[in-house]
Structure 1
């Protein structure tokens, strides 16, 4: 008997707990209207319930809206035109545009900085298009890209004459100075335009030096030729008036040239 009473008690408690889990769906129109207003629907003043009723005698209206007299006059939807969520999304879009503008600005600054660094740096002069296409070939005598022997193609007599007279030493000193200045112009941190102008000036001086050196080699060869001719004539005809005393080498050379014409 006692066991049967316990079983009935457990069945009663179980059925009571099952019934308690059935929750009734809330359909109060006042709450539903407020939810619709706050989420997405229009802020309709006509749906603010409870209403004032006939002659404003509805006590529920006064109990509800007397404490908030201006509530229904202001659109309080988060997603309204001036709602906080709308303003937040607008601020997010504005911040994204600002971030993009700052990114473009920083990218521009970076590109300008890289360009200026390449423009001024002396580490990339070997890759300069104007140097590769023109100046490297013109300065080959100084940079070692071409034959740098200043006595190439000369006879031993002319070479010895240039060495003994100090002309070869003079040429090597001038060439070394130009090479040093060219290397400084290539390695110094300098604006590319100023660097190109330095190349232009050095190229003009280099061409003048080469012209002067060629002239000195030609003059040396002619002088040695005249000296040999004079010595040969003097040995063959020692009594000629050209070799009489008191005459300079220039006068003797002029007489020899006239005689050979």
Structure 2
């Protein structure tokens, strides 16, 4: 019982001491506060460099504090000032970012240029050329898609036999195959796009000339066979046609025209 009477006052005294120790009064020094404000965010105000000189410069605390650092109040030492360390770091970061973006833009430009040049030169990309898709593919379609077709589908049997026997058909097929091989080489070879288009242009002219010549040969063969058939009929007829003699070609033509008007 006596021990409890002694312990309780001791515990009460310790609790009161702890409560008093926790209630610490905040001590503020205006000189330290001014320095913190100067260094962090506020203006570098020379009027707030305390302690001040006082009346007639007789404040000994000023001389004890700032006499050892005479240039300190005149120099803005804030990290975020115009010439501060943090401002310079931020400017350096911005400059490095701009440089990085410029390098990235330059690299992207080089990449796009390289891709464009590759597309212009690569033969594998010639199929996707807009000019080929819009114009030359349709113009060369009989040559590229019709190699296995018969160029005399619309010809009569007599004309077909005549062109085959005389070798004209073989000549046309050989010329067509040679032109098709040249066209395939121009499409698959790594070549400048301008040179490739010029090759298309020249070969298209040759192909049109070949097609015109082939049609002319078929028409001439048909006309020849028609004349040959008429000649055979005349020879087999009992009343051969007598041609006027002693007349010039112009007189014969005038005679024919005069009869056609009647």
TM-score when normalising by structure 1: 0.79
**Alignment gaps of 5+ in structure 1:** 241-257
Aligned to 1:184: 185
Kindly report which structure 2 residues correspond to 1:81-230, keeping only aligned pairs within 5 A, or say none. Answer: 81-144=82-145, 148-230=149-231
Q: Distance in 2 between matches of 1:134 and 1:73?
A: 79
**1:75 Cα deviation after fit:** 0.5
Q: Distance in 1 between matches of 2:105 and 2:12?
A: 74
Structure 1 distance, partners of 2:235, 2:152, is: 30
Aligned mates of 1:133, 1:44 — CA distance in 2? 76
Corresponding position of 1:251: none
Counterpart-to-counterpart distance in 2, 1:26 and 1:35: 15
Mapped partners of 1:109, 1:131: distance in 2: 27
In the other structure, the counterpart of 1:66 is 67
Q: Which runs of 5 or more structure 2 residues have no equivalent in the other structure?
A: 242-252, 257-262
Distance 2:9 2:227 in 1: 149
Shift, 1:119, TM fit: 2.9
2:10 equivalent in structure 1? 9
CA change 1:207–1:128 in 2 (3 A) is same
Q: Tell me, yes or no, if the aligned pair for 1:78 and 1:84 is still in contact at 8 Å.
A: yes
Aligned to 1:247: none
Of 31-40 and 138-147, deviating more is 138-147
Query: What CA RMSD, in Å, does the superposition of the two structures yield over aligned residues?
Result: 3.0
Q: Contact 1:120–1:189 at 8 Å: present in 2 too?
A: yes
CA distance in 1, matches of 2:113, 2:94: 28
Q: What SS does the aligned partner of 2:73 have?
A: helix
Which whole-Å CA distance do the structure 2 matches of 1:8 and 1:145 have between them? 118
